[in-house]
C-alpha cells in the first residue's frame, strides 16, 4: 500500500494487467455497467434546506449525501486495476472502495462494509448499483461532506461524472438498494432492473440541489470566491471552468504541511504529503489545465509565467524566494502573511491582501 495520500486514496496491494488484456476486459466491463445504469429525469425541488447528520446507511431505498472521489484509469495508473478484494476492477466496473484506513479493518468510513456490499449510488439524476471490492485511505472533506467512498473510474463515467485523471471529487448520494433489486443484479431474482431506480432527489437534497459544479467544487453566487469554515474555498458561479479547476485543486491540498522542496518531481495530477510555495501553486495551475502535468520549477521561473500584469481572475506573484497568487479574490499562500485574521497559518486559502513588494505580477492568458 502506498503511503502517499493521493487525491484518490491510498489502497491495498494492486497488480497491473497487460495493456492488451486491460483494453479487452474494459470493453466487456463497460457493457456490463451499461446494463446496471438507470437514469432519473425528474428535477429536484431545491426550495428547502437539508439538516446535517452523521454518515449512516439507512434502510433499503434511502440515501445519504457523502463526499466522493474517483480513482483508476489512464490518468491514475498507480491505482492499478485489481481491488484489495482480489477482484479485477476492469471486469467489474460497478465497483467502489470504502475509505478511512490503510487496511480492511480500519477503512470503515461507512461502518466497515463487507466486500460485495451493494450500494445505490446517485449523482446529478443518474443512479447505479455498485459493489464494494476495494478500500482506501481517504482524506479531508469534499464539498463540506465527509469523504467516505472512492468510485472506480468506469462507474463514475457511467454516472456522467467527468473523468479528471483521478482529480474529481464531489457530493454523491449512497444508500442500500431494495433487497429484490440487489438480488436481481446477482441473478437471484426475476424482478426487472427498472424497479431499482432511485427516487428523484427530494427537497433540499444536497446532491441534487447543492451548488457544486462538475469538478466537485462548491459554488457561491457572483464573481468572488468564498473561504469556507473548513479552510476550503467555494468557487464563484461566474468564474470560467479553469478558475473552478484551480480552486478544486487547491481544496485538495489545503492544510498540507510546508516542506521546502517538497512535491517537486511529482506529477501534478498527484497529491503529495507536503508542498512548498512553488509546488503548491503549480498543483493549482495544473488543476486549471494551465501547466503540463510534468511541469516542475522553482518560484523564480514563475516570474515568466503567462503574461505580465494583473489578471481578471488569477494573478501570480513570483520572485526568486517565494510565489503566491490570488484566485477570484482569495489568496493562495503558504502562511498567513497578512496577520492573525488571514486564515490558517499554513498552506491554503487566505482572505486578506498581503504585501507584493519585490514580486513580479503575472497572469494566465485570458484570465
> Quick one: pLDDT at residue 216?
64
Distance between CA atoms of residues 164 and 310, nearest Å: 29
> Quick one: pLDDT at residue 179?
52
Q: Which CATH class is domain 19-209?
A: mainly beta
> Quick one: pLDDT at residue 127?
82
Give the list of residues 6+ apart from residue 185 with CB closer than 8 angstroms, or none: 36, 118, 129, 193, 196
68: closest CA among 155, 143, 119?
A: 143
Domain spans of the chain, in order of start: 19-209, 219-363
CB 109 within 8 A of CB 96: no
Distance between CA atoms of residues 134 and 119, nearest Å: 14
> Quick one: pLDDT at residue 70?
92
The pTM of the full predicted model, rounded to 2 decimals, is 0.48
> Quick one: pLDDT at residue 307?
94
pLDDT tens, residue order, the chain (367 aa): 322 333 333 343 333 333 333 333 334 333 333 333 333 333 343 333 333 333 445 444 457 888 899 999 988 888 889 999 888 999 999 999 999 988 888 899 998 899 999 998 888 777 888 999 999 988 888 877 889 999 999 999 888 888 887 788 888 889 887 654 333 333 333 332 222 223 333 434 444 433 444 456 788 899 999 999 889 999 999 999 899 999 999 998 999 999 999 999 888 988 899 999 999 999 999 988 899 888 888 888 999 999 999 999 999 999 999 999 999 999 999 999 888 888 888 899 999 999 999 999 999 999 9
Domain 219-363: which CATH number of 3.90.730.10, 1.10.260.40, 3.90.1720.10, 3.40.50.300: 3.90.1720.10
Give, for 84, the enclosing helix (H) or strand (E): none
| DSSP per position, 184-243 | HHTT---S-GGGGPPPPP-TT-HHHHS-B-TTS-BEESSSS-EE-TTS-EEEETTS-HHH
> Quick one: pLDDT at residue 340?
83
> Quick one: pLDDT at residue 178?
63
Amino acid at each position: 500500500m502506498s503511503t502517499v495520500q493521493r487525491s484518490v486514496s491510498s489502497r491495498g496491494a494492486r497488480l497491473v494487467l497487460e495493456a492488451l488484456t486491460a483494453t479487452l476486459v474494459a470493453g466487456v466491463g463497460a457493457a456490463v455497467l451499461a446494463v446496471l445504469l438507470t437514469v432519473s429525469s425528474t428535477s429536484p425541488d431545491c426550495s428547502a434546506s437539508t439538516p446535517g447528520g452523521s454518515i449512516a446507511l439507512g434502510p433499503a431505498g434511502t440515501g445519504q449525501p457523502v463526499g466522493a472521489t474517483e480513482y483508476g484509469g489512464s490518468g491514475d495508473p498507480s491505482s492499478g486495476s485489481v481491488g484489495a478484494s482480489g477482484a479485477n476492477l476492469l471486469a467489474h466496473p460497478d465497483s467502489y472502495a470504502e475509505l478511512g484506513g490503510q487496511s480492511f479493518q480500519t477503512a470503515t468510513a461507512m461502518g466497515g462494509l463487507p466486500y460485495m456490499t451493494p450500494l445505490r449510488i446517485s449523482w446529478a439524476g443518474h443512479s447505479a448499483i455498485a459493489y464494494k471490492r476495494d478500500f482506501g485511505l481517504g482524506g479531508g472533506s469534499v464539498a463540506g461532506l465527509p469523504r467516505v467512498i472512492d468510485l472506480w473510474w468506469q462507474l463514475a463515467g457511467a454516472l456522467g461524472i467527468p473523468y479528471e485523471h483521478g482529480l474529481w471529487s464531489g457530493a454523491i448520494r449512497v444508500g442500500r438498494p431494495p433487497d429484490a433489486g440487489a438480488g436481481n443484479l446477482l441473478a437471484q431474482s426475476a424482478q426487472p432492473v427498472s424497479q431499482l431506480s432511485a427516487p428523484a432527489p427530494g427537497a433540499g437534497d444536497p446532491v441534487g440541489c447543492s451548488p457544486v459544479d462538475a469538478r466537485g467544487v462548491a459554488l457561491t453566487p457572483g464573481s468572488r470566491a468564498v473561504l469556507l469554515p473548513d479552510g476550503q474555498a467555494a468557487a464563484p458561479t461566474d468564474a470560467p471552468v479553469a478558475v473552478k479547476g484551480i480552486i478544486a485543486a487547491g481544496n485538495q491540498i489545503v492544510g498540507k504541511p510546508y516542506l521546502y522542496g517538497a512535491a517537486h518531481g511529482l506529477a501534478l495530477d498527484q497529491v503529495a504529503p507536503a508542498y512548498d510555495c512553488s509546488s503548491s501553486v503549480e498543483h493549482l495551475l495544473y488543476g486549471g489545465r494551465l501547466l503540463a502535468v510534468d511541469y516542475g520549477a522553482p518560484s523564480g521561473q514563475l516570474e515568466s509565467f503567462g503574461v505580465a500584469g494583473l489578471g481578471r481572475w488569477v494573478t501570480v506573484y513570483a520572485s526568486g524566494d517565494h510565489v503566491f497568487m490570488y484566485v477570484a479574490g482569495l489568496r493562495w499562500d503558504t502562511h498567513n502573511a497578512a496577520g492573525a485574521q488571514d486564515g490558517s497559518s499554513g498552506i491554503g486559502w487566505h482572505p486578506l491582501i498581503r504585501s507584493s513588494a519585490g514580486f513580479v505580477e503575472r497572469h494566465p492568458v485570458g484570465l
